[in-house]
Structure 1
C-alpha cells in the first residue's frame, strides 16, 4: 500500500512537471523547458536525454524492461520524451527519440495491455513524420 501511494505521488509530481514544461514551451521559454525536461528525466526516471538519444531502440527496450516502470510512469516517460523533441525537426536526435517512443508505446500495448486514443494519435503522428523523412530521403 505504501509503495502504491509513493508511486501515485511520484506520478502526480511528474504530471505536474510535464504541465509546467508545456506551459513554458507555449510561452516561448524553450531553454527553461529543456532544462526542466532533463531534470525530470534524471530525477523521475533515472535517465538522461543524451544517453537515451545515443541508445538503439533494442537497448532502450532492454533498459525499460530492467527499470520495470508501471504503465502510468511509462506513459509519462513517453510524453516527456515527445516534449523533448517537440516540435519535430529532421535531425538524428529527434529521429532516435521518436523511434524510442514507438518502442515505449509498443511495450505499453504488449506488456501492460494499455492503449489510449491519445497514444494512438501520437503514434500516427510519429509514423507520418518518420515516413515523410524517408520520402524526403
Structure 2
C-alpha cells in the first residue's frame, strides 16, 4: 500500500512539473522560466545537471540509468522532459543529443519495463523522422 502511494505521489509530482513546463512553453514569452523549471526538475528529481546528462555517451547514459534504478514513471518523465526541451527541433547538436537520449529512454521503457504508451510511440515516430532528415 505504501509503495503504491509513493509511486502515485511521484507520478503526480512529476506530471505537475511537466504540465508547468508545457504551460510556460505555451505562453511563448517565458523561455527563461521554462529552462528554470527544466533545470530544477533535473536537479531535484534526477540529481544531475543538463550538461552532465548530455555529456554521457549512450552506454554511459544507460549505465547511469541502471545505477540510479529510477521507476518507470521517472524514466518516462525524463524522456518527456528531454523531448519537450528539444522542441522546436532545431538543426543542431543539442537537439540531436536530447532526441537520441529520448529514444534510449523509450527503448528502456519498452524493453526492460514492458511499457508502451501511444504518446511515446508517436514521439518515437517524430524523432525518427527528424533523425532521418538530419542524417543521424
* Band the TM-score falls in, shorter-chain normalisation: over 0.9
* 1:84 to partner: Cα distance: 1.4
Question: Tell me, what secondary structure is at the counterpart of 1:87?
Answer: coil
Q: Which ranges of structure 2 fall in alignment gaps of 5 or more residues?
A: none
Q: Deviations over 1:35-91 (max 9, x none)?
A: 100101111122221111111111111111111111122111100111111111111
Could you tell me which residue of structure 2 aligns to residue 88 of structure 1?
89
Question: Tell me, what secondary structure is at the counterpart of 2:135?
Answer: helix
**CA distance in 2: counterparts of 1:84 and 1:48, whole angstroms:** 14
Equivalence map 1:25-104=2 (5 Å): 25-28=25-28, 29-104=30-105
Could you tell me which residue of structure 1 aligns to residue 135 of structure 2?
134
**CA distance in 2: counterparts of 1:117 and 1:2, whole angstroms:** 29
Over the aligned positions, Cα root-mean-square deviation in angstroms equals: 1.4
Q: Which ranges of structure 1 fall in alignment gaps of 5 or more residues?
A: none
Please report the TM-score for the alignment, with normalisation by the length of structure 1.
0.92
The answer on whether the counterparts of 1:53 and 1:96 sit within 8 Å (CA) in structure 2 is yes
Of 16-25 and 40-49, more deviation after overlay is shown by 40-49
Could you tell me which residue of structure 2 aligns to residue 18 of structure 1?
18
Please report the TM-score for the alignment, with normalisation by the length of structure 2.
0.93
Q: How many residue pairs get matched?
A: 135
**CA distance in 1: counterparts of 2:65 and 2:4, whole angstroms:** 19
